[in-house]
Structure 1
Amino acid sequence: MSEDELYSPRNPWFSISVGVTAAIAVLSAIVGLIWLPLLQPNLKLAGIWDAICSAAGVPNLPRPAAAVPPAFKTSNVVVTPEMLTRQDQVSIGRGATLAQRCAICHGPQGVSDANSPNLAGQYAAVTYKELNDFKTGARVNVVMSPFAANMADQDMRDVALYYAYLPRVPSSQVNPNLPAPAIVVTGAPMRNIPPCGSCHGEIDIKAGSPWLGGQSAVYIKAQLQAFASGTRRNDISEQMRNIARQMTAEEIDQVARYYEAQP
């Protein structure tokens, strides 16, 4: 048999070998590029073309997904470094009048004798945000939620500016010589916990973060536990929830006692 006849379609062996090779190639392509990718349980593919692109190593273009609303209300306050920093004497005066209703829990001068937070000298943006969150339901409390429900936005701003105007008063537990726990100064990098002082003062101050010095240890501990359990969730971008979940019970207690002792 000549070479021309060997590779001729008239040669049945040549035709069969070519056909079998082509069939194997097509079957391999179907299995490797379509069937196997579609079998992957964790690979979300829209169809055959996506399967082929995935098998070939071509990245899928992101598809716009419908926004998933949270199962709970979130804070709608956008805090900026300039927020409520300008003192307005008229607003402070109105706030002083409105704050008379707050005195039973927060003290006549913004310093609580109970375990409610001290508001004297607190950043105005912080007080305003919390009042707004109580009003909208982003933060829930049996006392504060109904109290804030009927407050107008200007009322909340006035009260916040008034309390920011008042001087901070050291707590009865003040002890500035109490050494700062490591979680306050250096955090816990291996657990993604930044130093408390990087947001709450001493190292740096982050807009919207409250001043904690002189606050009741009972109150601070309760709030950290609430963040850790998820019962309080009005923190911006879940920052405090992510931190508190990683803290030990001992660290929470140390932080609470340390800040209570600060002026």
Structure 2
Amino acid sequence: MDGDKQISVWNRWTATSVGVTTAIFLMAAGLGFVLLPRLEAGEQVAGIWDSICRAAGLPQKGEQPEAVRPDYKTSLVKIATAVPRARNEEAIGRGATLAQQCAICHGPTGVSRADSPNLAGQYASVIYKQLRDFKDGVRVNAVMSPFAVKLSEQDMQDLAAYYSYLPRLPGFHPPESHPAPRIVVSGAPTRGIAPCGSCHGSVENKLGSPWLEGQSELYLKTQLAAFVSGSRQNDINEQMRNVARAMTPEEIDQAAKYYANKPPPYPVGE
């Protein structure tokens, strides 16, 4: 009987506890659903229901939430459907004719003798994406930007078909003299860096990632530095910017040297 009296509504301690709890609940509800939404809105809201909806993050009728937009151009290429999968002989032929304009920098067979990137055997989706990004101003280069502006959609598709058709430079990495650096083989998991080969060939290829074997060491270092500084911003989902910024200067140097390694030229007459 004594226990029943202690929890009775007529017991002053029970009544006091319930009253205090109810007051705290009402104050918290008023603060969270009425006062704070009004202050955050910076204007008078329509009523309590409007305040509750604002507190819950629900847009009201007539409100258009402002989209978050980057302050730089982003690639418009849908990489999965950028180029046809089937080989097209006519496109390759048209691309070969167009590629004569590219030979001075990228070599007559798509293998550069300077520090321009090798295009022979590059993935068609990569060739197309970079040309389209240059044309759209997403990627900027003093030579490539003016050239790409003049290209039609068909031109870019044809160049992609042609260069992807050419035989690519294979990797040349004698284990006894040129061991693969850790960043290429294993990456750096604690810093969120996957092995380079898991995206760029040798192990696996991620759609949209270029084949790097045989590229110029200076070109590779320059592009990684551009990703670090943010002056190049056309990588998919900022993946290369995040990776490059997490790499040390030594790792950037090691990766560039590794991929740029080529077999020595054969002596004349052999």
Asked if residue 33 in structure 1 is aligned to residue 29 in structure 2, the reply is yes
Once the two structures are superposed, residues 180-228 of structure 1 have per-residue CA deviations (whole angstroms, 9 ceiling, x without a partner) of 1111111111111111111111221111110000001110111111111
Asked if residue 60 in structure 1 is aligned to residue 56 in structure 2, the reply is yes
* Distance 1:116-1:26 versus aligned 2 partners, 3 A rule: same
Corresponding residue for 1:86? 86
Is 1:176–1:262's contact at 8 Å kept on the other side of the alignment?
A: no
Corresponding residue for 2:223? 223
Letter in 2 for 1:194: A
Once the two structures are superposed, residues 107-137 of structure 1 have per-residue CA deviations (whole angstroms, 9 ceiling, x without a partner) of 1111111110000111111001000000001
Rounded Cα–Cα distance in structure 2 between residues aligned with 1:258 and 1:39:
61
Q: In the TM superposition, what is the alpha-carbon distance from 1:250 to its structure 2 partner?
A: 0.6
Q: What is the TM-score when the length of structure 1 is the normalising length?
A: 0.78
Rounded Cα–Cα distance in structure 1 between residues aligned with 2:135 and 2:96:
20
Once the two structures are superposed, residues 63-114 of structure 1 have per-residue CA deviations (whole angstroms, 9 ceiling, x without a partner) of 5732222211111111128943322111111101101110111011111111
Letter in 2 for 1:150: K
Corresponding residue for 2:213? 213
Rounded Cα–Cα distance in structure 2 between residues aligned with 1:205 and 1:44:
48
Rounded Cα–Cα distance in structure 1 between residues aligned with 2:58 and 2:217:
47
Q: How do 1:6-17 and structure 2 match up within 5 A?
A: none
Q: In the TM superposition, what is the alpha-carbon distance from 1:262 to its structure 2 partner?
A: 5.8
Is 2:34–2:52's contact at 8 Å kept on the other side of the alignment?
A: no
Is 1:176–1:261's contact at 8 Å kept on the other side of the alignment?
A: no
Q: Counterpart of 1:142 in 2: which secondary structure?
A: coil
Q: Which runs of 5+ in 2 are unaligned?
A: 1-11, 264-270
Rounded Cα–Cα distance in structure 2 between residues aligned with 1:180 and 1:50:
62
Q: Counterpart of 1:80 in 2: which secondary structure?
A: helix
Corresponding residue for 1:181? 181
Corresponding residue for 1:147? 147
* Distance 1:109-1:53 versus aligned 2 partners, 3 A rule: closer
Q: Counterpart of 2:102 in 1: which secondary structure?
A: helix
Is 1:75–1:234's contact at 8 Å kept on the other side of the alignment?
A: yes
Q: What is the TM-score when the length of structure 2 is the normalising length?
A: 0.76
Letter in 2 for 1:213: E
Question: What is the root-mean-square deviation in Å for CA atoms of aligned residues?
Answer: 3.3
Q: In the TM superposition, what is the alpha-carbon distance from 1:62 to its structure 2 partner?
A: 5.4
Rounded Cα–Cα distance in structure 1 between residues aligned with 2:257 and 2:244:
16
Is 1:79–1:125's contact at 8 Å kept on the other side of the alignment?
A: yes
**How many residues get paired?**
238
* Distance 1:126-1:36 versus aligned 2 partners, 3 A rule: closer
* Distance 1:141-1:241 versus aligned 2 partners, 3 A rule: same
Is 2:106–2:117's contact at 8 Å kept on the other side of the alignment?
A: yes
Q: How do 1:193-204 and structure 2 match up within 5 A?
A: 193-204=193-204
* Distance 1:245-1:53 versus aligned 2 partners, 3 A rule: same
Q: How do 1:81-120 and structure 2 match up within 5 A?
A: 83-120=83-120
Q: In the TM superposition, what is the alpha-carbon distance from 1:32 to its structure 2 partner?
A: 3.2
Rounded Cα–Cα distance in structure 1 between residues aligned with 2:50 and 2:195:
45
Is 1:224–1:252's contact at 8 Å kept on the other side of the alignment?
A: yes
Is 1:38–1:45's contact at 8 Å kept on the other side of the alignment?
A: no
Corresponding residue for 2:247? 247
Q: Counterpart of 2:205 in 1: which secondary structure?
A: coil
Rounded Cα–Cα distance in structure 2 between residues aligned with 1:29 and 1:52:
15
Rounded Cα–Cα distance in structure 2 between residues aligned with 1:25 and 1:212:
67
